[in-house]
């Protein structure tokens, strides 16, 4: 398995593993985009922090995803408003704020503010009557989403172009997720110790026990999306691990996708980089049972589906260069977890496949939960296991 995005960071030098016991005000477990946001938030509050990862920066989903930076929650905005009320609007605004922050830090070469397209159905004519009916239903759903966004003053336009019909959301953006994470880690690594290749065995009682030493810290954020229930078994009823898969292609001749495109109710998605390569994923709804797994290797059946998505997104044949998969956390009510596991320890994760901005926003809420005792916003599941 090789990850298409990684070619852009082949020269990443990384951080040395922890070498023995240390103490700090705070410790963050997991150097994905969410963990990095928690580290930044602690540092901005003047605390000393140690960050650790079992592997390298963004070795998990944070470096293996579609690179869509979308405003709002995992469910489509109108559905989230129906279910969560004003909290859905708050999360939308918070995620767009996180995007502004990222753009200011990393600039237009890493954060491409090109918007996104939600397409009703896949590009090209429907293959059969069932696909035609599904597309018609999705056109109506796009209209409902647009109405809700407009009602709350969020930018949206109708899309009607070479790919089909749907919505264009001008506030969204695209990134290479590994470049984004390593860019942030390199900046933070100049301010505080970060350690790769330092697996954590246990967290609790003011100590983070790793295979390389013990970190004593008053405040701990566990920022692990997929397989969170492994490191915090008490969260097992509240989060479940799923596998998501992708591939990337050789450059195609046309500049087909002007921005990230998610199609067929968001289940299939693709972005095209300026070099012409397509990064394509999807099919989770078609392989639900098989994809509830901690395994993170790509499978033939899902890859076959994604190749078909790639062909339709490309409008012709594609040559696959890389295939990969990663683990993400799913929650029963689609809200991310921001759980106080014990006094001084908050675990975050369970972004339901859309953690690129929701994860960092949840991480900032976790730091406020720990430092100020501020209950996380209603868009998160602020489980309090320390309360008994």
Which residues lie near ligand FAD (CB under 6 A)?
A: 29-35, 52-55, 59-62, 64-68, 199-200, 223-226, 231, 244-246, 281, 326, 328, 349, 351, 353-356, 359
Min CB(132)–ligand FAD separation in Å: 27
Min CB(17)–ligand FAD separation in Å: 11
Min CB(68)–ligand FAD separation in Å: 3
Nearer to ligand FAD, 150 or 187 (CB): 187
Burial of 233 (0-12, 13-18, 19+ CB in 10 A): exposed
Nearer to ligand FAD, 131 or 321 (CB): 321
Nearer to ligand FAD, 6 or 151 (CB): 6
Q: What is the phi-psi region of residue 350: left when phi exceeds 0, alpha when psi lies from -120 to 50, beta otherwise?
A: left
Min CB(58)–ligand FAD separation in Å: 6
Query: What count of other Cβ atoms lies within 10 Å of the Cβ of residue 256?
Result: 18
Residue partners of 21: CB distance under 8 A and separation at least 6: 213, 214, 215, 216
Nearer to ligand FAD, 97 or 199 (CB): 199
Nearer to ligand FAD, 31 or 88 (CB): 31
Three-state secondary structure along 187-231? Answer: HHHCCCCEECCCCEEEEECCEEEECCEEEEEEEEEEECCCCHHHH
The answer to whether 31 and 363 are in contact (CB under 8 A) is no
Min CB(20)–ligand FAD separation in Å: 17
| Positions of E strands within 258-304 | 261-263, 268-272, 278-282
Min CB(133)–ligand FAD separation in Å: 27
| Residue closest to 255 by CA, chosen among 301, 296, 314, 336 | 314
Nearer to ligand FAD, 32 or 376 (CB): 32
Min CB(65)–ligand FAD separation in Å: 3
Min CB(385)–ligand FAD separation in Å: 19
Tokens 């994470």 appear where?
Answer: 181
Min CB(294)–ligand FAD separation in Å: 11
Nearer to ligand FAD, 126 or 206 (CB): 206
In angstroms, the CA 302 to CA 60 distance is: 19
Instruction: Tell me which H or E stretch contains 289.
Output: helix 288-291
Nearer to ligand FAD, 79 or 126 (CB): 79
Nearer to ligand FAD, 131 or 226 (CB): 226
Q: Which DSSP string corresponds to 109-173?
A: TTSB---EEEESS-SSS-SSHHHHHHHHHHHHHHHHHHHHHHHTT---EEEEETTEEEEEETT-E
Sheet of 157-161: strands edge to edge?
157-161, 164-169, 116-119, 261-263, 268-272, 278-282, 240-249, 320-330
């Amino acid at each position: 398995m090789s990850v298409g995005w990684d070619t852009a960071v082949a020269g990443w030098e990384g951080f040395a593993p922890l070498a023995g016991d240390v103490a700090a005000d705070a410790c963050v477990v997991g150097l994905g985009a969410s963990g990095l946001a928690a580290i930044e938030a602690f540092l901005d509050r003047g605390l000393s922090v140690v960050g650790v990862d079992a592997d390298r920066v963004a070795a998990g989903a944070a470096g293996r995803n579609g690179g869509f930076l979308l405003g709002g929650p995992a469910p489509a905005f109108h559905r989230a408003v129906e279910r969560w009320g004003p909290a859905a609007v708050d999360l939308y605004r918070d995620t767009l704020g996180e995007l502004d922050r990222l753009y200011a830090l990393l600039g237009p070469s890493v954060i491409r503010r090109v918007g996104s397209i939600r397409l009703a159905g896949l590009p090209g004519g429907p293959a059969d009557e069932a696909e035609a009916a599904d597309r018609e239903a999705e056109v109506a759903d796009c209209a409902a989403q647009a109405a809700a966004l407009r009602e709350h003053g969020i930018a949206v336009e109708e899309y009607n172009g070479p790919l089909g019909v749907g919505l264009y959301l001008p506030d969204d953006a695209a990134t290479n997720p590994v470049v984004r994470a390593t860019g942030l880690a390199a900046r933070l690594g100049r301010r505080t110790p970060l350690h790769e290749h330092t697996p954590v065995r246990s967290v609790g009682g003011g100590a983070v026990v790793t295979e390389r030493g013990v970190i004593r810290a008053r405040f701990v954020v566990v920022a692990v999306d997929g397989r969170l229930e492994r490191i915090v078994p008490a969260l097992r009823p509240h989060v479940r691990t799923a596998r998501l898969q992708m591939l990337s292609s050789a450059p195609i001749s046309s500049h087909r996708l002007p921005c990230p495109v998610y199609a067929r109710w968001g289940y299939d998605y693709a972005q095209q980089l300026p070099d012409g390569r397509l990064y394509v994923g999807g099919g989770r709804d078609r392989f639900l049972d098989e994809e509830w797994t901690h395994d993170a290797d790509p499978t033939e059946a899902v890859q076959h589906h994604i190749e078909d998505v790639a062909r339709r997104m490309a409008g012709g044949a594609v040559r696959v260069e890389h295939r990969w998969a990663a683990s993400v956390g799913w929650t029963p009510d689609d809200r991310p977890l921001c759980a106080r596991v014990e006094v001084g320890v908050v675990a975050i994760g369970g972004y339901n496949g859309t953690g690129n901005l929701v994860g960092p926003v949840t991480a900032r809420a976790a730091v406020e939960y720990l430092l100020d005792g501020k209950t996380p916003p209603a868009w998160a599941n602020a489980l309090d296991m320390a309360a008994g």
